[in-house]
Amino acid sequence: MSTQQSPHGHGTVAPRGHATGEVAERFENPGLPPHRHRRADSDPDAAKRAERQVAVLFGISILGTIAALWAYFALPLEGTIASVRTSNLVLGVGLALGMTGIGLAAIHWAKTLMSDVERVDERHPIRSDDDVRETAVQMLKDGAADSGIGRRPLLKGALVGAVALAPLPFVVPLVGNLGGSWDVGALKQTAWRAGRRLAIDPTDVPIKASDVTIGSIFSVMPEGLPDEPHYLEEKAKAVVILLRLDPRDLTEAEDRKGWSYEGIIAYSKICTHVGCPVALYEQQTHHLLCPCHQSTFDVADGAKVLFGPAKRPLPQLPITVDDEGYLIAQSDFTEPVGPSFWERLK
């Protein structure tokens, strides 16, 4: 029978049409390499040392998980970017140690303490016959016995502890956020107060009415907010879109007369659909668009919804000017900002 060189240059292959059994016969089964015994197989001290190492790795996992939980519950978030970064860092490192510790412990346990006898299984039909299935079950039982978990209470306890704690960093925040009690009252108030100046976000520079020309738009927040606790949370509620229209274009409801100043109006920047920041302003039409799901608000007419999934207008912040010409709030918003969902949680 003729032969030909493999296209990859490794050995020979049979011409097409020849039985594969003939090909198999051309290769010698290299067999298994000689078995190398590990120290832990014959040295009880080495086995004990390996056991302690595995326990230490499980212990690292436990400490990492506890650190992640501590970061979630106890590390104070002061509303500064630095504190958020620190919290995220500790959470991430804790989770990484929690997961990596279990993985490394399992690998080290398998490599040093579990049986490393080589076994060869011939290929067989996908569904094994009953004898083989019984044998497999027996092998699993043997494997469990071989791991020595029954004889090694230290490892058993460490394994149970690590595996039991590992899901907590994922489960606890979920349960806490879904089932915990929300402070709905806090969502109904923002940092705006009567007389508080409007300042440009993020520079915190107070803004005068004369700075706001017709057609311009600013993102503003209460002056001095960056120096207050929980800055990011407060800003997320209080951020406002400030614009100036020709007063003749403005349609004001009876109960909102006097909420604007010479065509300058302020609306919550938090979309009433699901809370994205609305920021796309079309000067000619006076339309304000939310980029997330295209809700469109008419800023010339109380920010009423013209299009999209939002169900209510953007809340309006009543404003005026102080003696120096700076824009100030007349009060807080008179309704909750953000998604309408909050209105139902009374």
Contact residues for ligand FES (CB under 6 A)? 271, 273-276, 290, 292-293, 295, 308-310
Minimum Å gap between C-beta 228 and ligand FES is: 27
Rounded CA gap, 100 and 92, in Å? 12
Minimum Å gap between C-beta 273 and ligand FES is: 3
Residue of 148, 302, 274, 22 lying closest to 288 (CA atoms): 302
Residue number with CB closer to ligand FES (49 or 287): 287
Minimum Å gap between C-beta 303 and ligand FES is: 12
- 90: number of Cβ within 10 Å: 16
Two tokens at 28? 């010698």
Residue number with CB closer to ligand FES (90 or 274): 274
Minimum Å gap between C-beta 333 and ligand FES is: 18
Minimum Å gap between C-beta 264 and ligand FES is: 24
Packing angle, helices 81-112 and 168-179, rounded to 10: 140
Residue number with CB closer to ligand FES (242 or 290): 290
Supply φ then ψ for residue 197, to 5 degrees: -75, 150
Minimum Å gap between C-beta 219 and ligand FES is: 16
Rounded CA gap, 101 and 57, in Å? 5
Two tokens at 173? 């925040």
Residue number with CB closer to ligand FES (8 or 344): 344
Residue number with CB closer to ligand FES (285 or 294): 294
- DSSP characters for 54-72? HHHHHHHHHHHHHHHHHHH
Sign of CA dihedral 335, 340, 345, 346: positive
- 229: number of Cβ within 10 Å: 11
Residue number with CB closer to ligand FES (62 or 271): 271
Residue number with CB closer to ligand FES (77 or 274): 274
Contact 315, 306 (CB under 8 A): no
Rounded CA gap, 226 and 78, in Å? 11
Three-state DSSP state, 218: strand
Residue number with CB closer to ligand FES (113 or 240): 240
Residue number with CB closer to ligand FES (61 or 295): 295
Rounded CA gap, 79 and 90, in Å? 17
Rounded CA gap, 108 and 147, in Å? 12
Minimum Å gap between C-beta 242 and ligand FES is: 19
Residue of 204, 210, 215 lying closest to 300 (CA atoms): 215
Minimum Å gap between C-beta 212 and ligand FES is: 24
**C-alpha Rg value of the chain to the nearest Å:** 34
Minimum Å gap between C-beta 306 and ligand FES is: 12
Residue of 39, 44, 97 lying closest to 67 (CA atoms): 97
